[in-house]
Amino acid sequence: YHVVTTHASLLRATGVADSLAFNDEKGDPSLIRDWGGGHTELDFAPRYRMMGMPFLWFGGTSPKKLPNYVAAMREAYGEDVANDRMMDGPPHAIIFPNLFLAELNITYFYPVSTNEVVQYYTPMLLKGAPEINARAIRQTEGAMGPGSFLLPEDACMAERNQLGLEAQYPEWLDLRRGMGREHVDAASGLLSSVVSDETTNRAFWRHYLSVMSEAA
């Protein structure tokens, strides 16, 4: 739920600010899920379907700009399934402890010390899909490079979080948001909640505490 506030300049620049505005949690059908084992998922597909915009997860590009990819998807899966997949997009998930999958972005966090982490990043490229790959690389340059929008904003937030941790005030570490409205999703059987809750953070750190306590 940090997207609108942290990345407002990026959303305005790409023209998808209104489509990706998650401020109104009551009107946003997106879900977050605890898969167990510290693995978590942010499922934005319900939001994309509500907006009725395919490739919203891919910068809101028009299907007309990806004609060969769209045709190949429909040939491989049939029109209905292909349209659903192009609407929903790839997953947005954390694989415990340090792998982050964000649509076509793959990020690996490598801890160096207690207060330093190196982040390795690459776009995911698809065999036989040059239209997708070209756009993925361009988006990487715009989002993740040293002169980009997204990564410097996230790095600034991470730095502020680290300063907060170093202040040693435990009352600042408040992950209670949404505890009273978590529920077991009937379809998946997973603990779920609305996208603005801390279900995913609680799941990650709950498992972290478990494995670190076992090691001790």
pTM of the predicted model, to two decimals?
0.87
DSSP string computed for 27-83: T---EEEEEETTEEEEE-HHHHHHHT-TTGGGTT--GGG-HHHHHHHHHHH-HHHHH
**Number of domains within the chain:** 1
Write the CATH number for 193: 3.90.380.10
pLDDT at res. 18: 56
Q: Residue holding tokens 């982040």?
A: 119
Contact 44/4 with Cβ under 8 angstroms?
no
| Spatial distance between the Cα atoms of 162 and 125, rounded to a whole number of angstroms | 32
Give, for all 216 residues of the chain, the pLDDT tens digit: 677 678 777 777 776 655 555 556 677 888 999 999 999 999 989 989 998 989 988 988 999 999 999 999 999 999 999 999 999 999 899 999 999 998 888 999 999 998 888 989 999 999 999 999 999 999 888 888 777 888 888 888 888 888 888 888 888 788 999 999 999 999 889 999 998 899 999 999 999 999 999 755
pLDDT at res. 144: 81
Query: Residue 94's beta-bridge partner residues?
Result: 40, 100
pLDDT at res. 17: 57
Return the closest-CA partner of residue 116 out of 75, 157, 159. 159
| Spatial distance between the Cα atoms of 140 and 134, rounded to a whole number of angstroms | 10
CB neighbours of residue 70 within 10 Å: 19
| Spatial distance between the Cα atoms of 208 and 110, rounded to a whole number of angstroms | 16
Range of the domain at 59: 3-215
Using alpha carbons only, give the angle 36, 37, 39 rounded to the nearest 5 degrees.
Answer: 75
pLDDT at res. 193: 95
pLDDT at res. 16: 65
